Amino acid sequence: MTNVVKRSARAILLDGEELILFKRTKPGREPYWVTVGGGVEDGDPTVEAALHREVFEELGAELERAELVHLITDELDGGIGIQHIFAARLASMDLAARTGTEFSNPDRGNYEVVRISFTAATVRELNLMPPQLAEFIASNTGAIVSVLDTPIHRA
């Protein structure tokens, strides 16, 4: 059995036709972009609950819908890390309500909330991290929108 030493939940977060990302700037490093999300904590009952918590901490936001669409496995000391990638639609956002500790620590660099057009070409123009997530998003923009726009039918 593989030892999972870290789990995280990230959102390909859409608001209408736009993708919401963080533009990260750190001293001595070229700017790069990341999706909203972070680590699953012991108190999170599910990975999806962790996603909702992270989205609120980082953006003061609520999600209308979230669907797991991709996994990324990272080789880490002592085992693997799994990044659970959700396609999500924004319901509301109030940046004044965000509570993430990363925003108050200047050593972490700057987290600028940016909106970009949700197209493969636009995603490919960015230095979006990790690269395998950037490629997944750019290769699947239509499918991601379709997942979020398809009505949920529960039995």
User: What is the C-alpha to C-alpha distance for residues 104 and 21, in angstroms, rounded to an integer?
Assistant: 19
Instruction: Report the Cα–Cα distance between both ends of the chain, in Å, rounded.
Output: 33
Closest CA to 3 of 85, 81, 71: 81
pLDDT digits (tens, 9 = 90+) for 130-151: 999 999 999 999 999 999 998 8
User: What is the C-alpha to C-alpha distance for residues 53 and 47, in angstroms, rounded to an integer?
Assistant: 10
pLDDT digits (tens, 9 = 90+) for 49-72: 999 999 999 999 999 999 999 999
User: What is the C-alpha to C-alpha distance for residues 118 and 125, in angstroms, rounded to an integer?
Assistant: 12
User: What is the C-alpha to C-alpha distance for residues 87 and 100, in angstroms, rounded to an integer?
Assistant: 21
> pLDDT in tens for each of the 155 residues of the chain?
789 999 999 999 999 999 999 999 988 899 999 999 999 999 999 999 999 999 999 999 999 999 999 999 999 999 999 999 999 999 999 999 998 777 677 777 888 999 999 999 999 999 999 999 999 999 999 999 999 998 876 66
Its pTM stands at: 0.93
Please, what are the domains in the chain? 4-149 (3.90.79.10)
User: What is the C-alpha to C-alpha distance for residues 133 and 87, in angstroms, rounded to an integer?
Assistant: 12
SS3 (DSSP) at 146: helix
